[in-house]
Amino acid sequence: MNRVLLVDDHPIVLQGCRRVLEDAGVREVLEAGSAISGYRQFLRSRPDTVIVDLALNGNRLGGLDLIRRMRRHDSRVPILVLSMHTDPHIVSRALESGATGYVLKEAGPRDLLAAFQSVRAGKPYLNHEIAVQVAMLGPRRDAGPYGNLSPRELQLLTLLAEGKAYGEIATELNVSYKTVANSCSLLKEKLGARNLPELIRMAIQYVSNGAGETANVRV
C-alpha cells in the first residue's frame, strides 16, 4: 500500500479517508478536489489505488466521466467509488464505467477499509445489500441461459458472486489462473455480459435467486 489518490471536493471527507488509510499503513495519500485536478494527479503520480466520489464540483455524477478517463488510460488500477448515492442504477453505471468497487459514505471506517483492501487485492467490492439491489436490475434467472451452463461454470459463477479473485478461484478449483480467466471470458460470451463487473452482477443474481447463499458478498 504505497500510493493512494483520493478525489473528493469535501475537505472533511478527504481528512477522514486519509486518517483511515494512514492508520492502515498507506505510505502516501494524495488528494484532489475536482475531476480535472484528479485526472492530472492520476497521470502524474500513477497511484496504486484510486478512491473517487461521484458528485464533484456540483456535477451529481461527474465522477463517472473521471472513472472512464482513468480506465482508458489504465485498465488495471483499482478504482473504489465512495459515494452517498444508494440508487442501484447509479451503482450499476459506476461499475460499467470501470469502478472496481462501491462503498457508501455513510459506512464506517471498518467498511471503508474492507472495501479498500478488497479492490486493492483485485477483488470487486459491493456490500451485500447493494449487491442484491444491483443484481435485481438484470434479467431474472429463469429468463436467462443459466440452464445451458455446465456444473463447473455454475460453480465458477458462485465463486465470483462470493467476491473471489481469479487466483483464489484457481486455487479452490485446482486449475491454473489462465484457465479461470479463459472460463470467465467464455461465460461472458454465453451470458451476454459485456465486461467482468456485469458478469459478477449476473453471478450475484444467480446466487440470490436460490443457487446459494449471498450473505457477506463482497463483489
pLDDT block averages, 10 residues each, the chain of length 219:
90 93 94 94 96 85 88 91 90 88 92 93 85 68 59 81 86 88 91 89 72 35
- CATH class for the domain made up of 134-211: mainly alpha
The per-residue pLDDT for 159 is 85
Q: Where are the domains of the chain?
A: 3-124, 134-211
Residue 97 has what pLDDT? 85
Enter the pTM of the model: 0.64
SS (H, E, C) the chain: CCEEEEECCCHHHHHHHHHHHHHCCCCEEEEECCHHHHHHHHHHHCCCEEEECCCECCECCHHHHHHHHHHHHCCCCCEEEEECCCCHHHHHHHHHHCCCEEEECCCCHHHHHHHHHHHHCCCCECCHHHHHHHHCCCCCHHHCHHHHCCHHHHHHHHHHHCCCCHHHHHHHHCCCHHHHHHHHHHHHHHHCCCCHHHHHHHHHHHHHHHHCCCCCCCC
Q: What is the pLDDT of residue 72?
A: 87
Confidence at residue 209, expressed as pLDDT on a 0 to 100 scale: 57
Class of domain 3-124: alpha beta
User: What pLDDT is recorded for position 122?
Assistant: 84
